[in-house]
Each structure stands twice: as C-alpha cells, then as structure tokens.
Structure 1
C-alpha cells in the first residue's frame, strides 16, 4: 500500500512495494513475479476488504533509504508475525520490536529524511528523522487517543552495516515503538468496534469503543470475531474502567489454541473459555454472554441469534438468545421514539409519521412536510402554561423538562396526561437568555442535567430524578471555561459538553463518576477528552448511538459549516460526513440510525434528514428539536 507516504519526496523504492491478492489465492500471488515492474496498490483499491497485502523483503545491496522505505511499507501488510518487516531489522531489534505495543497514525504517513549530522561521517551507520502530522495513537488496549491539535511527530530510525551471507547490508537497529501508519492505511486495516461492560451498580451495558484489525491479526493469527471477543475478555479501557465492570471472572480468556471463532448457519456463536469461567452461576453467565452478544451485534450486519459460552472441557456453560439480552440494553427507550420541538408560541409539540388527515386542527402545528404530522403534547407544556425556549423529553417519554424563554427557570411536567407544572429549584441569574440555562438533558437513570451559563457563576447542575435540590457538579479540567451545551448518554456514565474557551467552542467528552450513597451519590465529571479534535468551533451536538455523536461545526480555518458523525473516542465514524443544511443551530439524533436526523436551521426552520435522502423542512417556525434524552 503505502500511498500515505512520500507525498512530498517521491517514490524511491519499487522493490519495497506491497502486492495485493484477492481473498481467493491464485497462482503467482504468493511470490514475487520474475519479470516486469512491481506496482504499489493504489488507495482506491483499499475499499476492497478482501485484498490481501504482502510485504516484499529487502533486496541485496539495498541502500539505506530503501531499507527504511521497505520497513515502513511492510508495517502496512498482513504478513504473519510481521516476519518480512523484521527482515529489515538487526536480529536484536527484530526480537525486541513489539508491533502490538501501539499504533501511531499520521495524517499523510511517515516521512523519513536522512540526518547525516547525527552520524558524524561514520560510513557504518545512518540516521533518518521520521516526521509527520499526528492524528492519533491506538494503545495496547486498542483504545484510540486523538493527538493534540498542534502536536508534531519526530522520531529516529538508525541503521548499521551488518554481516549477511551476501555481504554487508544495511539493517535497522533503532526504531520507533509499535506500528507507524498513515491515516488511509489505518482506516483500511482497522475497524472501530464497540465492546460492552456493565455500568457500576446497574444491569445496563455501556459501549467501550476500540479498534481491531479487520482480518487475521499478524501477531495472534486470530480472525476479526476472535480478536473482538478477546478484547472484551481483556476488560474495559482505562478511561472507562472506573465506572464500568465486566461480569467475566478475572483471568477469563479464550480456551488455549482458539484462533478462529465463526457463526453457524443460524448466526449463533459458540465461545470456549478457559478454566477461570468454569464455575460461574447461570445469572452471571448470562450477563457475560450479553456483553459478547451486544459486542457482536455491532460487529456484523446480520442479527446475532444467540451466544453460547462453553467450559474448557467442552460442556455448555450457558446460552443467551437475542431477545433475552434486551433487558441489559444500554438504551431502553421506545422502539420508535418521538421527535419533539418547541413551536412558535413556546409550546411543546411532537412530530409523527402520517398525513394531515385525521389530525385535530386545533392541535396541529405549522407542518410543511406531507410525511409528518405535528401535534401539541398533552399537559401543561402543550397548553402553553409556561412558554419554553428549549426542552428535553425523558427517555420513557412520560415527562419533559423545559427552560423558560428568558433562560432563567427550569420546569418539569408530564406529557402523557394532564398533570402539574413543577418549577424546579434551578435558576440562573444570567441577564440575557444566552447567558441563562442551557437546553436540559435526561440520562438513562431519569436524572436531569443542565448548565447555567451565567458569566458570573457558570456551573453544571444535576437533579436526581428531575426533582429536589440541584447538585452542582464538579467538572475536572474545565479551568474556568464555560459549558454552553449538555448532552447525556443513555447509560448515564458519559457526558458530551460544548465548552467555550478562548473564543472557541469545542466538544469534550467526560466520564461521570458517582460516589457515596447509591440513592443520592455525589456526582462529578472527570477526564475530559476531545470529542471532535478536527473542529475548532462546534455549534451543536447530539448522541447518535451508543458510542457515536452527530456534530455540527467548522474545522480550523474553515468557512463552511459541516455535519459529521464522530465516535466518542474522537475518531471519525465510518458514516463520515453528512449532507449540509443551512445555518444549523441545533441537532437531534436517535440511537436507531434508521430514524431521521432532526435539526433547526435559521433559514429553513425544523428540518429532517431521513436515511438516504436530503434535508427537508418539516416545520417552518419552531426550535429546539429533540429526541428523548
């Protein structure tokens, strides 16, 4: 492959090019041709996941720069144990090199340049300085960690003359840790996978995104399914570990020698475990199976029918079917959650599929989309007893919370029947609505969150079950920056914050920790990390899945507003960019990607984006579009 590398320095090496072979082995694919040119596989071919990529060993008498190029190319191959890549190293370096230690991702790939200053005229050694623009590092736990915005990569590769049967040859004796890949090679080789663990003190699963090789891992020879199962057994990533737990006993691993797990014709999977898991009870075993079942559902497009866990001796430990696992689901909202918004009169309304026929004219709102009917919700918010600026609907769609038009007060009211309008104890002293309360957000524990943007006292507030005395939440690492928007995950252990600092609003993802009394814990947000590192200014954000967000913003130096899906680890989702809409200020998505995105456009009102379609105005006048959450 290697199209990432050498954009500014030309191609110096033909013999180090990688050969692409289809999933079916054909004559000549496994060896070098004995005539004709060898060509690098072009980037356009990377879309074919069946292409097998093999490295080429160093040729006799290769110059030092050819050795460096060949080694960097060989790191992008599917070569078992990276055996060919190790041929570019001295014996000691080959033994010590640990490709699985970390993977450094560079935007345009590594760029090695000779550095004779370090060698002081010594003809027996040669030093190269390898530079590049860092994108991320994937650590030994397979966790993706975005690079700082203005960071640089600068490492050394050192070569020496080494005696070989063919005479003295250049070989690498000092090299960077782990693998070094360009961004497009990384996207070809690795796949983002959600593995699942239980939220502390709950039977609710939480997604923990990692990156796994798409085909057999060169070091373990495990296929994608086996690699993914193994990552679940290894436990949660360090960032999520304080708030989740695995139901697998410590030390549980796949039965020794297991390398290729595969689904049967019923789309069921058997997983043989080692002795550490042999004596667990049925209830615990079913939770273990649920962790794997939800993980495998995210891995395959077809529905996983069941997971069977087996003891080391081959006997069955337990079986869990897909329907049985639903009680552990991270998101327990309605299968068809409603789409809500605030109409021009400050009332809470709902959009639903259908036509205007049959809708009560007195309750109908200004809908322009023939596929959508809009109607006011029952209860105080639908009657306009308190005019609203922004809203959030509880995940079971029984209550809603709304911020008043002046941004100073927060109310809660039922939306399924007549009931009492309750003014909460949350108030803001901000003199302007933009300095008042943010849009609220409900988590999956029925707790309510809102930010007070008062310049004199900015704070994040938490209301246990949406009532009582608000708790001010400590947010570590905020350093005086102001929270502009709050979006809670369904599992209640992660929070997305739009943070204004230095004139720019960026997206941060935090971990929610609860200590003390389980019924009334002390809540804090810790270890903020970038959620959209490519964007300098973020306008709006919504959860769009168990570890995915939809983000509206602009890149550094960019003029055009962009809409894109991001993973919570800061990586770009496979779904990538979305069609643009005009001047979007708010956005909402459901966990189910088959449901349309809903947004507020300053030019077009409430707009919807169904899958595979274009944006279309649903309501000309309205604001604060939301799904439950």
Structure 2
C-alpha cells in the first residue's frame, strides 16, 4: 500500500477541521503478546473450545482454576464460569466489565480454609471498548473466597470483568484496528482493538467506530461517524459488507465521504474488500463514489503511504548520504559542510519531492553553544535555526512539512517549513526524565519518546494534539515496561514500533518489534550484524536499517545484510527515512 496516491481534498479538510472544533472538549519479555475487543459481549453462538463444568468433589484450588479457564468461553454471559460461583455470586457477577490478562504460569494457592490466592504477572487490561493497556509490571494478586454450597466448593467473591490467561486470550481474540481520521483530514489513523474471532467481527468493529476513539488518542483525531447509528446488523456476503446507518440530519457530503473511507479501511482488515454504505437504507448519492466502495477508492487516506523516492539516508563523517548506494546527498549537507551528526528530511505530500531538511551539528557554534540545529531545503544551503546543549535526532511525519526535536532533553521543538522554531507543550515530559530519542509516527499523530532513567532508557508513546493556536504532546504512557534499557526507536508503520534495547540475560543490545499499545513484544534477530546495533530507522514498506559497528545494515528477510546488497558495508550512522 505504500504506492498509493497522496492526493488531498481541501474542502474535506476544512469540514473535518470544523468537526474537530465542534467536538473538542507489562508485557513480560519472556512471553509473546497479542491484541483484544468485544470483551463485554461475545457473539451468541460463537465457536470456541468450551471449558468443562465443575466436577464433583473439586478442591478449592481446582474450582478457582476451572473458573479462570471458563472465563475464556465465547458463549454469551459465560454460563459455564457461573457454575463455579455460588448461586448469589452467579446472579450478580458482571462479566462485561472489561478484561484482565494474566500470565499462563499463575499459581492458585490455598492460604487458609476457603481462601485461594492467585498470583501472576499482569500482562494488561482491556476496557469495554476493546482498548488494551499494557501492565505496569506489577504482580496481579487476588484472594478468592469459597464457601461450601450443597457439599461443593463455590466462589462467593469473583472479580467483576473477565480474568483470562494470556494463551487463552491469544487464542480467542484477534487484533483489529478501528480507523479514525487524523486532524489534517488526509489519513486514517489506527486505534488497536481486540475482537473475539468469528462472524460477529464486522458488526462489532463498526460498533467500535460508532463508540469513538480510545481515550489515549481521542483528542488528536476526528470521528466522522459521530452521531451516526446502525439501523441493522452489518451484513456480509462473500467478501462484501453492507453497512446501513442513520446520520445526523445536518451531515454534509464531505463528512459522509470521510465516514465511508473510515468504514472501508477498517472493514478491509477483515477480508471484506468491498463495502456498501447506506443512509437510511438508501445509497449515499455521493458524486464519484461507487455503490460498492473499495480501499482503492480511498487510497488518499492510506495510513502508511511513503513516496517511492524517499530512500534511506544516513550520516558519515559529518556528511549526509543516501543508503541506497552510499552516494552523497546533493548540496552542502552532502559535502559535509555542516559537520552533521544526525538529520531528517520531510517529503512534499503533493509532489513527493524531498523538502525541509534539518540537521544537528555538535561542532561548537560562533556563540559557543555545543550543538546547532540547521534548517533549509534539501540540496540547498542550510542556516542555523537554533542552538542548545543538545538536540535529539530530528524527526518528521508524512502529513506536514515540519521537523521536530527535543532540546536539552526537556524542551520539545517544532520547526515548520518556512517558519520559526516553536516550543511544543508537553507537560508530563519533564517528570519522566531526560528525553534521549523523540520520533513522530508516519501519520504525525503519535510520538515515541525514550527517557533515560536510573535503570536505562524506557519507551513511552504520547498523542500529538493540534488546536488552532497550539500544538501539544499529551498522555505519554509506557508501552514496554518490562524493558528498561531502550537505546533507540523508530516507527515501522503507523501502528507498530521497532526498538533497540539491552537484553539483561545476554548483555547485548537487540532489536524488538511491538504494537503501539504495547502488545506483541517480539525479539528480532541479530544474525549477520558485526556488532551490537546502536541506532535504528524504519518506515512503512521499507526494510529496517541499523547502524552496527559503525556501518549500515538492512533486514530484508531472516538475516541482516549490508545496506547495499553484495557490496562492502557502508561506514556511517544515524540512519533515517524521509517522511
């Protein structure tokens, strides 16, 4: 999908901007991770592996274990799980109050007669909308009280919501993105949800869209489906879906277009390649929009589009170079005039041409400042824009001609093309430590930040919120709390990250991949690397790049190979992809 058009529709942007103003107001490293939704109400008749009912004479420990196993049932209201409860508890237990996911190696231990303590690593929680929050690394601990009811042990105080083992959760739930619209009105933005596998997924996913975005990104996105309601269950036939909605009476064509794109991109993940969107049972009647809509009809909203000519770049001996062949970038930056240590380049969304270029030089400036931020057009002269004690490697997003960085570990700086540097409000950032890495997601909605703490670097993800007169970074939250030696991070696409972090068991730095919400933490190979990696670059549809042993390497498959395949390693570091 990286070759999709990036055409923009100015009237739609204006309408969506008005919509925004009107509506403003631990995963353990040893276990694989997954994704969630639909926790509140599994579909009737869902197919799954049903756990057994209680056996006569079961011990308290066996009853508690059976209850937890039965929480993985996909049958509505969890009738088998209720059989492990007292009659009163079975009547009052609320199984729709979200999910708590714990490690599969939990231990139920009887601590006194009629009390069983469950101890486990808390993987994370899922709210009623299906949004996952990674565990903080705390231990899950719960005392279950059991009473003798008609000669059998039964639980009298079950926790509300579902308590599921990680393997059961991974088997039962599937990760799916609910897509919303970014504030520029030009891209769909992934909002991870978790859906029970089965035929109810299309209807559940549309319901999640109607419910709105998760709290983590709500302030940074638009929802064209606000106020809409489903008139009937989403129907499917083969690879086609029909969504019949009622919209607010004053809805305009631009909002209907954006809502259509949102629905089509979301349902496409469920292998529904065409979607008919109806309004009160009738065709939408939008000009140039077919009755059966496909992703190709809304390719301008591609969340992961990257221009074909945006090849990887890096820095060697102070000069900006291309990773595709090791050649120097045009202009003074490619000649090493500015003695750059890192750089970033934005891409013009209309022409796909490389544009605003920003580089950091650590050569002492005329004012004596240790670091200088240079800015200008790609291939042209760069001029000093800012000085400071330090700057993080600059970063760009694909939706705006601007470059961001963090000065002196605490001040987030935004440099728009043709404008003056601006300080971005990030109220929670200083309290988390010194920021050593700051990277924008391809859609510009999220920021990944590495903070240097007492035990090493920790990775946080926040939301970029744009108002008429201000830009801010909010809701910074840890997404890999089990890893405390992060040295660098990059966005593989709008919904997942690559990071380099120390592995305490080996004492080496290794690459990982993880979802934006912290689920699915997976260690990647280091095979082929000559030394430990120190910097990473990534982009949608591009092969990851790392700097290792002072040379560049890419990952096209199972092993790392030289950046130019079949050639000697390119000396250099600070790799990046223009956005």
Q: With structure 2 as the length reference, what TM-score do the two structures score?
A: 0.81
Residue 420 in structure 1 maps to residue 420 in structure 2: no
- Is the 2:392–2:405 contact (alpha carbons within 8 Å) kept by the matching residues of 1? yes
Q: CA RMSD in A?
A: 2.7
Q: Which 5+ residue runs of structure 2 have no aligned equivalent?
A: 1-27, 29-44, 349-353, 364-369
CA distance in 2, matches of 1:555, 1:277: 53
What is the aligned residue count? 512
1:291 alignment partner in structure 2? 262
- Is the 2:47–2:74 contact (alpha carbons within 8 Å) kept by the matching residues of 1? no
- Is the 1:310–1:317 contact (alpha carbons within 8 Å) kept by the matching residues of 2? no
Residue 400 in structure 1 maps to residue 365 in structure 2: no
Matches within 5 A, 1:200-239: 200=183, 202-213=185-196, 215-216=197-198, 223-239=200-216
CA distance in 2, matches of 1:277, 1:522: 30
Match of 1:464 among 398, 416, 420: 416
1:438 alignment partner in structure 2? 392
Q: With structure 1 as the length reference, what TM-score do the two structures score?
A: 0.75
Matches within 5 A, 1:110-509: 110-116=106-112, 126-149=114-137, 151-163=138-150, 168-200=151-183, 202-213=185-196, 215-216=197-198, 223-250=200-227, 252-256=228-232, 258=233, 261-262=235-236, 264=238, 267-273=239-245, 275-276=246-247, 280-300=251-271, 305-313=273-281, 319=291, 320-335=293-308, 337-344=310-317, 346-352=318-324, 373-396=325-348, 397-406=354-363, 408-415=371-378, 419-424=380-385, 426-428=386-388, 430=389, 436-443=390-397, 444-453=399-408, 458-465=410-417, 467-471=419-423, 473-479=425-431, 481-509=433-461
- Is the 2:319–2:328 contact (alpha carbons within 8 Å) kept by the matching residues of 1? yes
Q: CA deviation at 1:376?
A: 2.0
SS at match of 2:206: helix
Q: Which 5+ residue runs of structure 1 have no aligned equivalent?
A: 5-29, 31-49, 120-125, 217-221, 353-372, 431-435
TM-aligned CA distance change 1:529 to 1:445, over 3 Å:
same
TM-aligned CA distance change 1:469 to 1:276, over 3 Å:
closer
1:610 alignment partner in structure 2? 556
- Is the 1:494–1:509 contact (alpha carbons within 8 Å) kept by the matching residues of 2? yes
CA distance in 1, matches of 2:75, 2:141: 27
Task: Tell which deviates more after alignment, 474-483 or 151-160.
Answer: 474-483
- Is the 2:88–2:156 contact (alpha carbons within 8 Å) kept by the matching residues of 1? yes
Q: Give deviations 1:364-404, integer Å, cap 9, x for gaps.
A: xxxxxxxxx33222223223332211011113322321111
- Is the 2:183–2:220 contact (alpha carbons within 8 Å) kept by the matching residues of 1? yes
Match of 1:545 among 490, 493, 504: 493
Q: Give deviations 1:76-97, integer Å, cap 9, x for gaps.
A: 2333432222222233322332
2:571 alignment partner in structure 1? 621
Q: CA deviation at 1:509?
A: 0.8
Q: CA deviation at 1:312?
A: 4.5
Q: Which has the larger radius of gyration?
A: 1
CA distance in 2, matches of 1:81, 1:238: 27
Q: CA deviation at 1:276?
A: 4.2
Structure with bigger RCO (C-alpha 8 Å, 6+ apart): 2
Matches within 5 A, 1:589-604: 589-592=538-541, 595-602=542-549
Q: Give deviations 1:211-256, integer Å, cap 9, x for gaps.
A: 222x23xxxxx52333222222211011111121210132x34334
Q: CA deviation at 1:200?
A: 3.4
CA distance in 2, matches of 1:268, 1:490: 30
- Is the 2:455–2:485 contact (alpha carbons within 8 Å) kept by the matching residues of 1? no
Q: CA deviation at 1:547?
A: 1.3
TM-aligned CA distance change 1:437 to 1:225, over 3 Å:
same
